[in-house]
Structure 1
């Protein structure tokens, strides 16, 4: 394996031009393990980088692994920065926004531990760092998880001996997200200004879509009783959802016989364009006002994203759904996200679980 500077020997003007374009500069080259069918030799591979930190880290680790006399000293010389570089490089095929977020959180970890050899850091030091006052608990949790993932990869690859973050957690104070009950959601749907608005509320509240996912649905995404959601923040967000029977007729009517490439929710004011970003919130305000005009107990105002929280609340607290299924329906990247945000809404206690298990323990009549 070798690392090459692609700008080496270029005129200063050309280097300035490439720097302005943020062109890749470094290239890692290695052979194998596959065979080139044409030459019969180990195949040559290349990978380019904007900076030399990642390829150099991989080069250093390869050199250590290939040198027998270095085997015993690796765990006492590997830095946290190297572990982070290796972990991020191995996850380079994820969604761009996820990579961007991980790069940011990795930079925060590097500010404190980047140049530190892992063997010089103990669990207490990391625990104190993870409980600092700033930033928000959710960010500190992500940073600790990223550090832990990098260290676990190092343990797996025999670069370091132990995971010093084992057992450490960042406590997230629960923040109640406003939501409606199913009865309140139905009241708002019934008070919608049009069938178009009512269908939009059903999709957001009874399927749990993000507002932008609703806006970018195509007619062809509805096939039978299945709705494919494509525009999302993570790969897990690209999902196919069974449409509830109460929602399906209004969606089928909305789709009609239009071409599959047409937007499912077309702007009432701009034919041919998807419904605008602010439309759902404005429609909700009108519907809540209409519903409250005939109610003694007023329904509080929610944003379009509040309907996504409403879906989670109905699915967990009213329908008794399990967290894994709700997580998949919401398109969360990890079930832990659903647990952090909505775990308090899940059915509590072991009695319901044991009652279900008991049904299998009773002998069946002959």
Structure 2
């Protein structure tokens, strides 16, 4: 049990010290309580936390959040280079600015909630807030595991609702128009829009991955730009997959050595996503006149209305899913083509594209429910109807 002792400061003021044993039975103390009542409350809390297995040394909470974040980042060996880079950006940016100078013991749920409110008031996108709080939650969870915090103050805090952006799907006619507008880049447009590759997977595609005889693409890598350098890694989720390659698309693919890239940059090497979009994709979208929107802008000091055309390369992946569903592919086939970890992901995103055959279900149920049964024929199932015996 803890013991409480008074002591006198040089000024003559009375303070109280709590002596107790930690869970490992080593003695320790905490001093500085101005009243015996506060000292007793602390001692009682220590005993309860020891029994619950939730004891944290008061000194442990003095560890800086910046140091805890650095330790957490260093332990994320399992992350892809792009994800690790994104997390480092969040740690060095938003989290360092708000919490880096504080000790772990200073992080409270009200403080986390106020940070979220500040982000919302500053019109920070909800997706960004979720990512930032998610990283903070992971850092504090590791601090709990390491015995530096008793509970995670970022757990189960209320976050702003994410309103999903409306997905855009090109019709087959629009995809033809975009490919035609792209000129020499038409094969890349068709590979994205008909096979459902991610842009990083397109960038890393080599001729050895193209199996013309089987009519498939082997997706074995994805190339991502991390801190200004291309990083060659596995596809998202770490799993390779095989994607159907329609003959129409196969016939447009350039030929080359097995180790060569199918879609290299103009000067050789990997395409840069941003450069390709600026140089090829966006002009093709504008030329094809896809998804026009009127936008007010200031030109030469005067407000004027201009028409802009908006389509993201990733929406060609949505288009590939839409075309596959239109061709009769079931949800498992769509999952395999896109490389989703679970069919439920594909169903959540693209399930609305499947026709709702309500009339067909209604007819089938009506036929089943009105089908004659053995009971309707005058005898029970599994029994034989007996004729009366004449006298």
Indicate the TM-score class for this superposition, using the shorter chain for normalisation: 0.5 to 0.7
- The alignment yields a C-alpha RMSD, in angstroms, of 4.8
Q: Which runs of 5+ in 1 are unaligned?
A: 1-63, 291-299, 356-366
Q: How far does residue 172 in structure 1 lie from its aligned partner after superposition?
A: 4.3
Judge conservation of contact 1:208–1:329 (CA < 8 Å) in 2: no
Judge conservation of contact 2:168–2:318 (CA < 8 Å) in 1: yes
> How many residues of Structure 1 are paired with residues of Structure 2 in the alignment?
268
Match 1:302 to one of 299, 303, 311: 311
Counterparts in 2 of 1:148 and 1:124: CA distance versus 1, 3 Å: same
| Distance in structure 1 (CA, Å) of the matches to 2:256 and 2:318 | 31
Judge conservation of contact 2:170–2:316 (CA < 8 Å) in 1: no
Residue 232 of structure 1: SS of its match in structure 2? strand
Judge conservation of contact 2:201–2:219 (CA < 8 Å) in 1: no
| Distance in structure 2 (CA, Å) of the matches to 1:315 and 1:144 | 37
Counterparts in 2 of 1:205 and 1:190: CA distance versus 1, 3 Å: closer
Q: How far does residue 307 in structure 1 lie from its aligned partner after superposition?
A: 1.6
| Distance in structure 2 (CA, Å) of the matches to 1:220 and 1:330 | 23
Instruction: Give the aligned partner of residue 196 of structure 2.
Output: 208
| Distance in structure 1 (CA, Å) of the matches to 2:317 and 2:152 | 37
Counterparts in 2 of 1:83 and 1:321: CA distance versus 1, 3 Å: farther
Counterparts in 2 of 1:155 and 1:243: CA distance versus 1, 3 Å: same
Is the aligned partner of 1:240 residue 2:250? no
Counterparts in 2 of 1:142 and 1:186: CA distance versus 1, 3 Å: closer
Judge conservation of contact 1:178–1:309 (CA < 8 Å) in 2: yes
Residue 86 of structure 1: SS of its match in structure 2? helix
| Distance in structure 1 (CA, Å) of the matches to 2:210 and 2:127 | 35
Counterparts in 2 of 1:119 and 1:199: CA distance versus 1, 3 Å: same
Is the aligned partner of 1:105 residue 2:105? no
Instruction: Give the aligned partner of residue 88 of structure 1.
Output: 73
| Distance in structure 1 (CA, Å) of the matches to 2:234 and 2:117 | 31
Judge conservation of contact 1:109–1:147 (CA < 8 Å) in 2: yes
| Distance in structure 2 (CA, Å) of the matches to 1:112 and 1:102 | 16
Is the aligned partner of 1:329 residue 2:318? no
Q: Which has the higher contact order (CA 8 A, sep 6+)?
A: 1
Q: How far does residue 86 in structure 1 lie from its aligned partner after superposition?
A: 1.8
| Distance in structure 2 (CA, Å) of the matches to 1:272 and 1:111 | 40
Match 1:260 to one of 251, 258, 273: 258
Q: How far does residue 302 in structure 1 lie from its aligned partner after superposition?
A: 3.0
Counterparts in 2 of 1:167 and 1:347: CA distance versus 1, 3 Å: farther
Instruction: Give the aligned partner of residue 123 of structure 1.
Output: 109
Query: What CA deviation, in whole Å up to 9, does each residue of 1:4-44 have, x standing for no partner?
Result: xxxxxxxxxxxxxxxxxxxxxxxxxxxxxxxxxxxxxxxxx
| Distance in structure 1 (CA, Å) of the matches to 2:114 and 2:204 | 44
Is the aligned partner of 1:77 residue 2:62? yes
Q: How far does residue 239 in structure 1 lie from its aligned partner after superposition?
A: 5.2
| Distance in structure 2 (CA, Å) of the matches to 1:67 and 1:335 | 52
Q: TM-score, normalised by structure 1?
A: 0.55
Larger Rg: 2
Judge conservation of contact 1:230–1:239 (CA < 8 Å) in 2: no
| Distance in structure 1 (CA, Å) of the matches to 2:90 and 2:337 | 24
Counterparts in 2 of 1:216 and 1:241: CA distance versus 1, 3 Å: same
Q: How far does residue 83 in structure 1 lie from its aligned partner after superposition?
A: 2.4
| Distance in structure 1 (CA, Å) of the matches to 2:321 and 2:25 | 53
Task: Give matches, 1:118-157, under 5 Å.
Answer: 118-132=104-118, 133-134=121-122, 135-157=124-146
Judge conservation of contact 2:221–2:235 (CA < 8 Å) in 1: no
Q: How far does residue 229 in structure 1 lie from its aligned partner after superposition?
A: 5.1
Q: How far does residue 185 in structure 1 lie from its aligned partner after superposition?
A: 4.8
Residue 102 of structure 1: SS of its match in structure 2? helix
